[in-house]
Structure 1
Amino acid sequence: AIKDDLVNELWKVAQPELATGFYYKTPTENEQLFGARRKIPQYKFVGEVVDFDPVTMTATIRQRNVILEGDHVEFYGPGFRHFECEIKDLHDANGNKIDRAPNPMELLTITVPQEVKPGDMIRSTKEGLINLYQKDGSSKTVRV
């Protein structure tokens, strides 16, 4: 049997509905997921740890969605290890103190309360601001 806590972790990041695809057999039109989602994701992926300095407890992160000073986030990585904290001491790649980081793929630094590892992911609840991308390549920041 599949552990419920593992399934719940998958649903935290699942954007579309899930199907087995080609795992068991060639899918038919019955496996296509065109209907409404059965569960709306409550989390957004906001970044990834690229470096960590244990002396200063500073993490360098690559941002994916809007991050604000004071946002409540969760760091998670292999081995089901994770912890929650508040975004503090947010700086851009040039070391300038900022309170909002709206640009995807930007390198930022933050102070964290415990060790993180390169490759650790960062997520937050779907509150606050996210970037919406249009087919023409433009984007706009919206509050969710």
Structure 2
Amino acid sequence: MKDDYRKVKTPLSINIIYVKNDSKYPTYNKDIGGKNNTINAPIAIVETGNTSIRNYQHYMTECYFFESKKHNPYESIKPLLKKYNLLGDITSIQSIYDTKVDDISNLKTEIVKFLTLTLNTFMVFITSMLTAIHLYFTN
């Protein structure tokens, strides 16, 4: 790929953040992190605003997590999306809290379903046992 012709060549500055070995950190992705939603020694990219334009679409559509105190969190990232012409690509965002609420709701539904199945199985078992005992003693 050719470099973006608008890109200004500036010296690269890398700041290394040292952490303790085998440290666990929270993850906001419900599909990874296991039971405790933590990952061991992750690689993180700290956004400072000087990333190549080509990276933003990938970051923001896959794994961009941010904190927002606004009623509509999309407004928090809208200036960044405008700056890199990504408004058409990213039209909405999903709250991590909504996904956790959905997970809890699904678990509650599963619990009710399995309790109902267990109760039905128990009732069929009792009915079968009573029928077998009744048939045994009537013959």
TM range (shorter): under 0.3
Q: TM-score, normalised by structure 2?
A: 0.19
TM-score, normalised relative to structure 1: 0.18
Bigger radius of gyration: 2
